[in-house]
Amino acid sequence: MDVMIETLISEQEIDRRIREMADELSGIYAGKELKLVGILKGSVFFLSELAKRLSIPVTLDFISVSSYGNGTEPGAEILLSKDMDDPVEGQNVLLVEDILDTGRTLKKVIELMNRRNPASLAVVTLLDKPSRHIADVELLMTGFTIPDKFVVGYGLDYAQNYRNLPYIGVIE
């Protein structure tokens, strides 16, 4: 595809921020075990980097939901296409997502998780786009607050492309 991508957040900035977040999370969950639940596929790069930096015992699970087609605007429907492998009852669950945009996806996933009685439930995202929030979702922590631009890279896609860019960019 012949498009220009302008860097919004560099690989170095992301790396530094994820280390900070991991340190803070290791403090918050000190003495506990943490289950990271990644929302596929956008969260995988962020989750991997974050998980490696945590100094507490961690387990991983994944869920797959889709709210987007192949465009840049959200559809109204959220589809659960892959559930977690293991139960979360009685566990400290940290939902890991690439971005909080309208919040519709996370709100649905939070509702689903809460019905399964985790000991605690919190949410972290790499990015937050406050100008787009519709559903009310509370974040424990976010990596970067960004303006209302469609971004790609570090897990985020445009029509499934660009997820593997090591930085966050804006399509020109």
Task: List residues near Mg ion by CB under 5 A.
Answer: 42
For the window 55-94, what string marks contact with ligand IMP as x by the rule CB under 6 A? ------------xx-----x--------------------
105 interacts with ligand IMP by CB under 6 A: yes
Cα–Cα distance measured from residue 98 to residue 100, given in angstroms and rounded to the nearest whole number: 7
Q: Name every residue whose Cβ is closer than 8 Å to that of residue 5 and which is 6 or more positions away in sequence.
A: 152, 153, 162, 165, 169, 170, 171, 172
101: annotated active-site residue: yes
CA distance 49 to 53: 7
Active-site hit among 61, 83, 98, 101: 101
Fill in the per-residue mask, 115 to 154: x = in contact with ligand IMP (CB under 6 A), - = not in contact.
-----------------------------------xxx--
Closest CA to 45 of 171, 167, 144, 169: 167
Q: Which is nearer to ligand IMP, 25 or 65 (CB)?
A: 65
CA atoms within 13 A on the CB side of 111: 10
Interaction site with ligand IMP (CB under 6 A): 42, 67-68, 74, 97-106, 150-152, 156-157
Active site residues: 101
